Amino acid sequence: MQKYIDKANILIEALPYIQRLAGKTVVIKYGGNAMISEELKNKVMEDITLLKYVGVNPIIVHGGGPDISEALKIYQVESKFVNGLRVTDPQTMEVAQMVLVGKTNKEIVSLLNTMGGNAVGLCGIDGKLIECEKMMTSVDGEDVDIGSVGRITKINCEVLQMLANDAFIPVVAPIGIGKDGESYNINADTVAGAIAAALKAEKLMLLTDVSGLKKSDDSDEIIYEISQKGIFNMIDEGTISGGMIPKTLSCIDAIDAGVKRVHIIDGRIPHCILLEIFTDTGIGTMITA
């Protein structure tokens, strides 16, 4: 009998969080190992489906780096990265769009629908959801051309609001559109942050392959809550580097735009989404203003 009582206590612990999030938008950036492991993939989709059924409006923005890298190997195209961003020449752009929109996006949609959700796949080209322009990056103070990588100029979120406020779960691939109709590859963390900001979402959640931000490179101690100022200090110190830089900067932009909480959580933990938002302690790093 005790194990059933324990389960009931877990539900009671979740009740105030369910009440607080009912009708609110939660943007989830889905990536990392949780996209590779079949077991973890199923757990994440179960979490998202449950969120929808208890009245939360989840929106998924997915990455696809491993799938893109694997496809580029098949086409014998070398993968290059600068400041954590993939250098995207015309051939890489063609492969990235094919993989993200045609493969990864539809696999996620199919899995959610199998779980009982009503998922709809989109990319930034649909309805001009993500308008962008060519982006340069800086290396040692000099601008470097990294190809068809986009800087977001506008999020047209009407289609997302229409779907999310109804019975559907939008699933967004991070491909944007330029003013002349050209496609751009965009960092998925950046897209998730921009969409959360445009919708003034209650929460932005980033699934990663780390347990959260840590106090130093050689420390196992997780920072459970940190301010924007603390993030900038960690970047200046070099504690945050590489691919974590665009991830944390997208968090800060989202907070500046009105998102109340941003969470960096370990997608390798089964049911990580539910553990972070429906328990008193949480499992990752929460970023606040």
Q: Where are the domains of the chain?
A: 23-288
* The pLDDT value given to residue 6: 80
Identify any residues that bridge with 82 across adjacent strands, giving them in sequence order.
85
* Tens digit of each residue's pLDDT (9 = 90 or more) over 210-267: 878 887 767 778 888 888 888 888 888 888 877 778 778 888 888 988 898 899 998 8
* The pLDDT value given to residue 200: 92
| CA atoms of 122 and 145, how far apart (whole Å) | 28
* The pLDDT value given to residue 119: 97
**pTM of the prediction?**
0.89
Contact 250, 189 (CB under 8 A): yes
Query: Exposure string (b/e) for 98-110, b if CB count within 10 Å is 16 or more?
Result: ebbbeebbebbbe
Contact 148, 185 (CB under 8 A): yes
* The pLDDT value given to residue 206: 92
* The pLDDT value given to residue 58: 97
Pair of tokens at residue 200: 């003034």
Q: Helix 188-199 to helix 244-256 angle, to the nearest 10 degrees?
A: 10
* The pLDDT value given to residue 160: 94
pLDDT beneath 50: ranges in the chain: none
Q: Are strands 81-82 and 225-227 parallel, antiparallel or unpaired?
A: unpaired
Pair of tokens at residue 228: 């924007």
| CA atoms of 267 and 260, how far apart (whole Å) | 21
Q: Where are the beta strands (DSSP E) in the chain?
A: 25-30, 57-62, 81-82, 85-86, 119-123, 130-139, 142-155, 169-173, 175-177, 183-185, 203-208, 225-227, 261-266, 285-288
CATH class of 23-288: alpha beta
* The pLDDT value given to residue 263: 92
